C-alpha cells in the first residue's frame, strides 16, 4: 500500500481547503482505493476539512505539533488537541520549519515522541540541502537526521512512522530528484532504520516516501520503484485534478509488477 500525503502548507483559505477536501472525498470513494491518502491543511482548517472528508477514508494530518504536552505555550498546538478533533497524522521537521522556524534535530525528536505518545502517525521529513549534496554529504546528512529524529524512540508492535525523503533543493522548485537517485536515499534511510531497530521492526513499522516537486508528469517513475513507498506532495496537491492524477498513478502502480 502506498501513502500519498498532500501538504497544503499556508496556500489556502479555510473555505478553499474545505472545498478541496469535499471534492477529493467525492472523487475517492473508500472501496475503490488501494493506497492511503492523507491531507494536511493548516490548523484552522482541520475541523472543517475533517467534516468535509466524511466517510471517505481519507486521513487528516496536521503540518506541525508542539513537543510539549500542554500548558503555557502561546501560539502552539498540542498533540492532544489534534487527536481530540480527529487528526490522525502529523508532518514533523519539514524543511520549511527546519529553516524558517529554526527547528533542530532535537526538537524534531521531541515532536516524534510526542506524536507517537498521542497515537498520531508522525511523517518525519529529512533531506539534504543543495550545498550538502554538492559536497558529497547527502548520505551522511540524511543518516544523521534519521538517527537524531528517532533517538530513544520506541517502536512497539502496533506503532507506525513515515519518513519522507525531501531534499530541500527539490521542494517547490519544479526540480524533482531523479527517481533512481531518490531510491538511493531511500535505501540509506531503510538501512539506518534497520540498524536503529531490528530489520523486522523497521520493515514492519516504517514506510519511506519521497517529496519534492512531485507531479502528474513524474509520478509514474517514482512509483515504479518499490523502495519508494509513497509521496509527499505540495504544489500539485492544491488542485483536485492534479492530486487525483497522482492517486490514480498509485492505483495503477499497485496493479503493475514492480522493479527495484
Ligand atoms: P512541492 O512540496 O511538492 O511543492 O515541492 C513538497 C513539500 O514541501 O512537502
Q: Answer for the pair 243, 236: CB distance below 8 angstroms, yes or no.
A: yes
146 contact partners, CB below 8 Å, separation of at least 6: 124, 126, 163, 189, 192, 193, 196
Cβ burial 84-100 (10 Å sphere, 16+ → b, else e)? eeebbbbbbbbbbbbee
For the chain (260 residues), the mean pLDDT of every run of 10, in chain order, is: 97 98 91 86 98 96 98 98 98 96 97 98 97 96 98 94 97 95 97 97 97 97 96 98 95 73
Catalytic residue (choose from 18, 94, 103, 132):
94
Q: Is the CB of 57 under 6 A from ligand 1?
A: no
* pLDDT of the residue at 31: 62
Q: How far is the CA of 238 from the centre of ligand 1 (A)?
A: 11
User: Helix, strand, or coil here: 161?
Assistant: strand
Comparing CA positions, the residue from 107, 125, 1, 110 lying closest to residue 61 is 125
User: Count of CB atoms within 10 A of residue 161's CB?
Assistant: 22
Give one word for 26, left, alpha or beta, with left for phi > 0 and alpha for psi -120 to 50.
alpha
**Residues 21 and 251 sit within 8 Å (Cβ to Cβ):** no
Q: Looking at residue 30, what is its pLDDT?
A: 72
State the pLDDT at residue 257. Answer: 63
Concerning whether 18 is annotated as a catalytic residue, the answer is no
Amino acid at each position: 500500500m502506498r501513502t500519498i500525503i498532500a501538504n497544503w502548507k499556508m496556500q489556502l483559505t479555510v473555505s478553499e481547503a474545505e472545498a478541496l477536501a469535499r471534492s477529493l472525498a467525492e472523487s475517492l470513494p473508500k472501496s475503490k482505493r488501494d493506497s492511503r491518502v492523507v491531507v494536511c491543511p493548516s490548523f484552522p482548517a482541520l475541523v472543517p476539512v475533517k467534516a468535509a472528508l466524511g466517510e471517505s477514508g481519507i486521513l487528516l494530518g496536521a503540518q506541525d505539533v508542539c513537543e510539549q504536552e500542554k500548558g503555557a505555550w502561546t501560539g502552539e498546538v498540542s498533540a492532544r488537541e489534534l487527536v481530540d478533533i480527529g487528526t490522525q497524522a502529523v508532518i514533523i521537521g519539514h524543511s520549511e520549519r527546519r529553516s524558517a522556524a529554526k527547528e533542530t534535530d532535537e526538537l524534531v525528536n521531541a515532536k516524534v515522541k510526542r506524536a507517537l505518545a498521542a497515537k498520531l502517525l508522525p511523517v518525519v521529513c529529512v533531506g539534504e540541502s543543495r550545498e550538502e549534496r554538492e559536497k558529497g554529504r547527502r548520505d551522511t546528512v540524511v543518516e544523521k537526521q534519521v538517527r537524531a529524529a528517532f533517538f530513544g524512540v520506541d517502536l512497539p508492535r502496533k506503532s507506525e512512522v513515515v519518513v519522507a525523503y525531501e531534499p530541500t533543493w527539490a521542494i517547490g522548485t519544479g526540480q524533482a530528484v531523479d527517481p533512481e537517485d531518490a531510491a538511493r536515499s531511500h535505501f540509506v534511510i531503510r538501512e539506518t532504520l534497520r540498524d536503529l531497530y531490528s530489520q523486522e521492526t523497521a520493515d514492519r513499522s516504517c514506510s519511506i516516501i519521497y517529496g519534492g516537486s512531485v507531479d502528474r508528469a513524474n509520478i509514474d517513475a517514482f512509483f515504479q520503484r518499490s523502495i519508494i513507498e509513497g509521496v509527499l506532495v505540495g504544489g500539485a496537491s492544491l488542485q483536485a485534478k492534479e492530486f487525483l492524477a497522482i492517486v490514480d498513478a498509485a492505483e495503477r502502480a499497485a496493479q503493475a509488477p514492480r522493479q527495484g
